[in-house]
Amino acid sequence: MIKAILIFNNHGKPRMSKFYEHYTEDTEQQIIRETFHLVSKRDENVCNFLEGGLLIGGSENKLIYRHYATLYFVFCVDSSESELGILDLIQVFVETLDKCFENVCELDLIFHLDKVHNILAEMVMGGMVLETNMSEIITQVEAQGKMEKSEAGIAGAPARAVSAVKNMNLPEMPKNINIGDISIKVPNLPSFK
C-alpha cells in the first residue's frame, strides 16, 4: 500500500499532497515539513530510500523519493510494495506529467493542481497501484480532458479567452525547469507493460 504521495520543491513548499489515510490538515503539513527535512539534507548520490516511516503509520513504512530539478517526489509506502517498483512508478508518473503538460515544470504543477491529481488518480487509487502503463494513463487522461472541453463548449470560450489574457501579462511564466533535460539515472528496470 502507498500511504501518501507528496510533491514539494527544494524549499519545502508543497506542490501536491495526497494522503491515503486521514490526517488533520495540521498533521499533514507537519508530515510534509518533516519529510522535506529528512529528504532535503540527503546528497544527490545517495540511495533513494529512507526509513523515516515514523511520520506515517508504523516503522514498517519507507520513504521512497526522487529528486527532479526543483521538485521532490516522495512516496511513503509499506512493506508490500517493491522498492524498485515504486521508484519506477515515480518515473512513470513524472514522464506522464511531462507528456501531459508538454515539458512539465514546477509552475505547471503549481497552476494545475487539479490536473496533477487527475493524472495521479489514473495511476494510483486509494493507495494501490491502478495502472503502470503510461500510454494507457495518457489515453484516459486525455479522454476525460476532451469530455471536459466538450462540456464547456462555447460557453467556456470567453472564460478561456480571459484566462489567456490574464496569462499574457504574467511575466514569470518561464518554463525553465525542464525535467526533460535532466537525465535521470534509472536502475536497469524494464518499463512496465
Contacting another protein within 84-113 (CB under 8 A): 84-85, 87-88, 110-113
Instruction: Report how far residue 55's alpha carbon sits from residue 105's, in angstroms, rounded to the nearest whole number.
Output: 28
Binding mask 110-139 for another protein (x = CB under 8 A): xxxxx--xx--x---xxxxxxxxx--x---
Buried b (16+ CB within 10 A) or exposed e, 100-115: bbeebbbbbbeebeeb
CA dist., res. 97 & res. 119, Å (int):
8
How many CB atoms neighbour CB 158 within 10 A? Answer: 9
| Part in contact with another protein (CB under 8 A); list of ranges 68-76, 94-102, 167-175, 176-184 | 167-175
Determine which helix (DSSP H) or strand (DSSP E) holds 45, and give its type and residue range: none
Which span (68-76, 94-102, 181-189) binds another protein, by CB under 8 A? 181-189
Query: What span, in angstroms and rounded, lies between the C-alpha atoms of 191 and 184?
Result: 14
Helices and strands of the chain, counted as H and E runs: 5, 7
- Options 69-77, 93-101, 145-153, 176-184: segment touching another protein (CB under 8 A): 145-153
50 binds another protein (CB under 8 A): yes
The answer to whether 5 and 31 are in contact (CB under 8 A) is no
Interface residue with another protein among 46, 135, 168, 183 (CB under 8 A) is 46
Task: State the residues that interact with another protein by CB under 8 A.
Answer: 1, 14, 16-18, 20, 22, 24-26, 28-29, 43, 45-51, 80, 82-85, 87-88, 110-114, 117-118, 121, 125-133, 136, 140, 143-144, 147-148, 151-152, 155, 158-159, 162-163, 166-167, 170, 172, 185, 187-190, 192-193
